[in-house]
C-alpha cells in the first residue's frame, strides 16, 4: 500500500473526551472515528487491525473444533421472554417495536437465539457435544460509554456456545476453551491473566475472565503472593472469622458536629478508619436493609446482588423517612434488618454513628445482638488469600474475555432437550465463551505505547514495515530505489506501506511512529550514494545501516522472529 492511496487521518491532538492512551491514540492515528456516544466507525487502518485480531481468534476457534455461524442482531422479544431475560435484563437491553408493533431488541449477547437453534437442530445425544461461535456486532446501551471502543455501546464480540449431554462434557469443553483463549491471547502478544470471576447476569456457577494487565483497567484483580490463586475482586470470597478480641471499652456518645465521612470522623477522633463501622442503607424488592462494614472496606455490589437480589442505594429522602440520620447512622435500633460483614463482625470497641444528629459512639460493641452476617466487601491488598496460601496483591486489568459454565439455565427455560442413550429426553448442558474483539484492539494499545504513539504487537500491526523515502517526489534515484524495495517486499508477501507523500521527513517519521508499525526503513540520496538503507524497529532506539541488497532478507528475518 502507498500512503497516498489510503485514508489515514492522523491528528496532532486528541479529543477532549479521550481520557486514556488507547482512546487518544486510536483517534490520533486515524484508526477510528466517533459517530455518537459509544458508537465508532473503523477507518481502513483500524479495520485492518480489527480483522487481524478476528483472524487469530477464528483460526484458534476452528482449530478447537468449534463451528462458525452468524446470528441476527435484531431479535424478537418472545425468545427473551422465554428465557426470562426480557424482564431481568436492565436498561442495557435496547428494545423497540417494528411497524407491526411487535417487540424486538438489539442483542447484547446471543444465548437465546443459539439455544433456540439448538432446540430445533440438536435432537440426539449422538450429535453432542457441539460448539458454535460467531464474530458479530453486539449492542449494549451502557450507562456510561467511555474510553473509546473499550466500553462502547456497539461493539464486536466473538461469542461461542457449547451444548453437552452432561456436566462432565461441559467441563471438558470449558477447559478446552480456557486453553484456546490462552493460545489466542499469547498469539495477540498480550500480557494477560486468567482469573476466577462472578457470572453476572449471564448466569451459571463457574466462570473465568481473561484480563489484559494495564494501569487504566476498570477491574481490580487479586493475586496471591505465594500461590496461583487469581480472581476478580468481585469474586474473592471471605469466610466468617474467629473472634479473637474481647470488648474492653465503655460505650460513650461523643459530639462530632457536622463531621460525617469515615475519614473525617476517624481523623477527628484520632482513630484508624479500620476501627470505625459504617452503615449503608439499601432498598431491596421487599423493603430496606442496613449493611455494616469496616470503615476502610468497600461494599462489593456483586456480593450484595447475589445475596439479596436487585438493590439500589437508599436516597437521602428514603433514609429520612426511615427515621435515620444520614452521616450518623449506627448499628443498633435501626428498625430495619442489619447485615454485618464478616470483617466488621469481629471488631470490638469500635466507632459508629449514634443515630443522633451530630453524634457518634466510641467504644461500641455488638453486645448480645443476634447478628445476621455475610461476606459483603471487596478484598483489599494484604488480605489473606482465600486458598489459605499467602496474601493478596491487587492489580488493574481490562476484561477482554469471559468463559462460563452455564449449566441448564437457558436449555431448561427454552426446552433444549435431546434424546439420551436410554431413550429418555434430557436437558442439554451449556457453556458460553466471549471475547470482546474491539476491546482487544484498545487493550493491546493500552499495553503497548510510548510518547510517540502506538507500538503494535507484530501479530496485529496494520503493516509489518514502513518505507520512508526522503525526497521521493524530487529525487528520481530515491524514488527508483524505494519503489524497487517496495516491490521486492510485496513479492515476498510482506505487508508494507510506502510513504510516497510530499511531506517533510519529520512528519513521515512521526506518522510511522504514531501508527506503531513495527519495522521502518529510511532511504535518502545519501543512502543511495552509499548503496545502503537505514533500519529501525519501533520498539528500539537503535538505527542500523544495511546494504540495499540485504535489506529485504534482514527485514524478513526480523518479521519472522
**Is residue 434 at the binding interface for ligand ATP, with CB under 6 A as the rule?**
yes
Rounded to the nearest whole angstrom, what is the least distance from the CB of residue 72 to ligand ATP in the complex? 18
Rounded to the nearest whole angstrom, what is the least distance from the CB of residue 302 to ligand ATP in the complex? 10
Size of the site for ligand ATP (CB under 6 A): 17
Which residue's CB is nearer to ligand ATP, number 138 or number 289? 138
Rounded to the nearest whole angstrom, what is the least distance from the CB of residue 495 to ligand ATP in the complex? 26
**Is residue 436 at the binding interface for ligand ATP, with CB under 6 A as the rule?**
yes
97 to 116: interface string for ligand ATP, x by CB under 6 A: ------------x-------
**Is residue 152 at the binding interface for ligand ATP, with CB under 6 A as the rule?**
yes
Chain residue at closest Cβ approach to ligand ATP: 436
**Is residue 399 at the binding interface for ligand ATP, with CB under 6 A as the rule?**
yes
Q: How far is CA 559 from CA 57, 257, 496, 522, 534, in A?
A: 21, 68, 11, 17, 16
Q: Considering only residues 140, 164, 297, 538, which one is a binding residue for ligand ATP as defined by CB under 6 A?
A: 140
Q: Considering only residues 20, 157, 208, 374, which one is a binding residue for ligand ATP as defined by CB under 6 A?
A: 157
Which residue's CB is nearer to ligand ATP, number 386 or number 436? 436
- Dist CA 23 CA 33 (whole Å): 11
Q: What does the DSSP 8-state code read for residue 201? A: G
Rounded to the nearest whole angstrom, what is the least distance from the CB of residue 47 to ligand ATP in the complex? 16
**Residues near 118 by beta carbon (within 8 Å), at least 6 away in sequence:** 130, 161, 163, 411, 416, 428
User: 441 near 447, Cβ under 8 Å?
Assistant: no
| The one segment of 125-133, 435-443, 478-486, 539-547 that binds ligand ATP by CB under 6 A | 435-443
Supply angle C-alpha 33, 37, 41, rounded to 5: 25
Q: Considering only residues 402, 519, 527, 536, which one is a binding residue for ligand ATP as defined by CB under 6 A?
A: 402
Q: Considering only residues 82, 142, 251, 495, which one is a binding residue for ligand ATP as defined by CB under 6 A?
A: 142
**Is residue 151 at the binding interface for ligand ATP, with CB under 6 A as the rule?**
yes
Classify 512 in phi/psi space as left (phi over 0), alpha (psi -120 to 50) or beta: alpha
Which residue's CB is nearer to ligand ATP, number 19 or number 473? 19
Which residue's CB is nearer to ligand ATP, number 82 or number 142? 142
**Is residue 527 at the binding interface for ligand ATP, with CB under 6 A as the rule?**
no
Q: Is 38 helix (H, G, I), strand (E, B) or coil?
A: coil
User: 104 near 95, Cβ under 8 Å?
Assistant: yes
User: 330 near 319, Cβ under 8 Å?
Assistant: no
User: 533 near 521, Cβ under 8 Å?
Assistant: yes
Cβ neighbourhood burial of 271 (10 Å; 0-12, 13-18, 19+) = middle
Rounded to the nearest whole angstrom, what is the least distance from the CB of residue 152 to ligand ATP in the complex? 5
**Is residue 438 at the binding interface for ligand ATP, with CB under 6 A as the rule?**
yes
Which residue's CB is nearer to ligand ATP, number 35 or number 252? 35
Q: Considering only residues 76, 189, 200, 390, which one is a binding residue for ligand ATP as defined by CB under 6 A?
A: 200
First and final C-alpha spacing in the chain: 23
Rounded to the nearest whole angstrom, what is the least distance from the CB of residue 211 to ligand ATP in the complex? 9
Rounded to the nearest whole angstrom, what is the least distance from the CB of residue 242 to ligand ATP in the complex? 34
- Dist CA 93 CA 84 (whole Å): 13
Report phi then psi at 118, rounded to 5.
-60, -40
DSSP helix, strand, coil percent of the chain (3-state; round to 5)? 30, 30, 40
Among residues 23, 42, 21, the alpha carbon closest in space to that of 33 is found at 42
**Residues near 39 by beta carbon (within 8 Å), at least 6 away in sequence:** 152, 153, 154
**Is residue 235 at the binding interface for ligand ATP, with CB under 6 A as the rule?**
no
User: 148 near 127, Cβ under 8 Å?
Assistant: no
| The one segment of 361-369, 388-396, 430-438, 449-457 that binds ligand ATP by CB under 6 A | 430-438
**Is residue 212 at the binding interface for ligand ATP, with CB under 6 A as the rule?**
no
| The one segment of 6-14, 149-157, 311-319, 342-350 that binds ligand ATP by CB under 6 A | 149-157
Cβ neighbourhood burial of 265 (10 Å; 0-12, 13-18, 19+) = buried
352 to 391: interface string for ligand ATP, x by CB under 6 A: ----------------------------------------
Q: Is 361 helix (H, G, I), strand (E, B) or coil?
A: strand
Helix axes 437-447, 21-28, angle to 10 degrees: 100
**Is residue 400 at the binding interface for ligand ATP, with CB under 6 A as the rule?**
yes
**Is residue 439 at the binding interface for ligand ATP, with CB under 6 A as the rule?**
yes
Consecutive H or E run containing 26 = helix 21-28
User: 83 near 75, Cβ under 8 Å?
Assistant: no
- Dist CA 65 CA 129 (whole Å): 10
Report phi then psi at 160, rounded to 5.
-130, 150
| The one segment of 186-194, 233-241, 393-401, 420-428 that binds ligand ATP by CB under 6 A | 393-401
Question: Which residues in 27-56 contact ligand ATP (CB under 6 A)?
Answer: none
**Is residue 129 at the binding interface for ligand ATP, with CB under 6 A as the rule?**
no
Rounded to the nearest whole angstrom, what is the least distance from the CB of residue 439 to ligand ATP in the complex? 4
Rounded to the nearest whole angstrom, what is the least distance from the CB of residue 552 to ligand ATP in the complex? 39
The residues that touch ligand ATP, with contacts defined as CB under 6 A, are 109, 140, 142, 151-152, 155, 157, 200, 202, 399-402, 434, 436, 438-439
Amino acid at each position: 500500500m502507498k500512503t497516498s492511496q489510503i485514508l489515514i487521518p492522523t491528528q496532532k491532538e486528541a479529543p477532549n473526551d479521550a481520557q486514556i492512551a488507547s482512546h487518544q491514540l486510536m483517534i490520533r492515528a486515524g484508526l477510528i472515528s466517533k459517530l455518537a456516544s459509544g458508537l465508532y466507525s473503523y477507518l481502513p487502518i483500524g479495520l485492518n487491525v480489527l480483522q487481524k485480531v478476528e483472524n487469530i481468534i477464528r483460526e484458534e476457534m476452528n482449530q478447537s473444533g468449534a463451528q462458525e455461524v452468524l446470528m441476527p442482531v435484531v431479535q424478537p422479544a418472545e425468545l427473551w421472554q422465554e428465557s426470562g431475560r426480557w424482564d431481568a435484563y436492565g436498561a442495557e437491553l435496547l428494545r423497540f417495536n417494528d411497524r407491526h408493533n411487535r417487540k424486538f431488541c438489539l442483542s447484547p449477547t446471543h444465548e437465546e437465539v443459539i439455544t433456540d437453534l439448538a432446540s430445533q437442530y440438536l435432537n440426539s445425544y449422538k450429535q453432542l457435544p457441539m460448539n458454535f461461535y460467531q464474530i458479530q456486532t453486539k449492542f449494549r446501551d451502557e450507562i456510561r460509554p467511555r474510553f473509546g471502543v473499550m466500553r462502547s455501546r456497539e461493539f464486536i464480540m466473538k461469542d461461542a456456545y457449547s451444548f453437552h449431554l452432561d456436566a462432565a462434557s461441559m467441563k471438558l469443553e470449558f477447559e478446552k476453551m480456557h486453553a484456546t483463549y490462552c493460545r489466542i491471547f499469547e498469539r495477540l502478544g498480550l500480557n494477560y491473566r486468567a482469573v476466577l470471576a462472578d457470572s453476572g447476569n449471564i448466569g451459571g456457577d463457574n466462570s473465568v475472565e481473561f484480563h489484559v494487565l494495564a494501569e487504566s483497567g476498570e477491574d481490580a484483580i487479586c493475586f496471591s503472593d505465594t500461590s496461583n490463586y487469581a480472581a476478580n475482586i468481585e469474586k474473592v470470597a471471605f469466610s466468617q472469622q474467629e473472634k479473637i478480641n474481647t470488648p474492653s471499652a465503655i460505650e460513650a456518645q461523643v459530639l462530632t458536629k457536622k463531621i460525617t465521612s469515615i475519614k473525617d470522623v476517624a481523623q477527628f477522633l484520632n482513630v484508624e478508619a479500620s476501627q470505625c463501622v459504617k452503615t449503608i442503607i439499601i432498598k431491596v424488592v421487599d423493603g430496606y436493609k442496613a449493611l455494616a462494614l469496616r470503615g476502610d472496606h468497600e461494599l462489593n455490589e456483586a456480593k450484595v446482588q447475589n445475596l439479596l437480589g436487585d438493590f439500589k442505594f437508599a436516597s437521602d429522602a428514603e433514609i429520612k423517612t426511615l427515621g435515620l440520620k444520614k452521616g450518623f447512622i449506627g448499628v443498633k435500633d435501626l428498625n430495619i434488618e442489619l447485615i454485618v460483614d464478616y470483617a466488621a463482625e469481629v471488631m470490638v470497641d469500635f466507632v459508629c454513628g449514634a443515630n443522633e444528629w451530630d453524634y457518634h459512639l466510641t467504644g461500641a460493641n455488638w453486645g448480645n445482638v443476634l447478628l445476621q452476617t455475610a461476606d459483603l466487601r471487596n478484598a483489599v491488598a494484604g488480605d489473606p488469600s482465600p486458598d489459605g496460601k499467602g496474601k493478596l496483591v491487587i492489580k488493574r486489568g481490562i476484561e477482554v474475555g469471559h468463559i462460563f459454565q452455564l449449566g441448564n439455565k437457558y436449555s431448561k427455560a427454552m426446552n433444549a432437550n435431546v434424546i439420551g442413550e436410554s431413550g429418555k429426553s434430557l436437558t442439554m448442558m451449556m457453556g458460553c465463551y466471549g471475547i470482546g474483539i474491539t476491546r482487544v484492539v484498545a487493550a493491546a494499545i493500552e499495553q503497548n505505547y510510548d510518547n510517540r504513539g502506538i507500538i503494535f504487537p507484530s501479530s496485529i500491526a496494520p503493516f509489518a514495515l514502513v518505507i520512508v523515502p526522503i525526497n521521493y517526489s524530487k529525487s528520481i534515484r530515491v524514488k527508483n530505489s524505494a519503489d524497487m524495495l517496495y516491490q521486492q517486499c510485496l513479492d515476498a508477501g510482506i505487508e508494507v506501506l510506502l510513504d510516497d507523500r510530499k511531506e517533510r521527513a519529520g512528519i513521515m517519521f512521526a506518522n510511522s511512529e504514531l501508527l506503531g508499525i513495527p519495522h521502518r526503513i529510511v532511504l535518502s540520496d545519501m543512502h543511495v550514494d552509499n548503496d545502503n538503507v537505514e533500519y529501525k524497529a519501533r520498539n528500539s532506539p537503535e538505527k542500523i545501516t544495511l546494504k540495499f541488497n540485504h535489506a529485504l532478507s534482514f527485514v524478513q528475518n526480523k518479521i519472522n522472529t
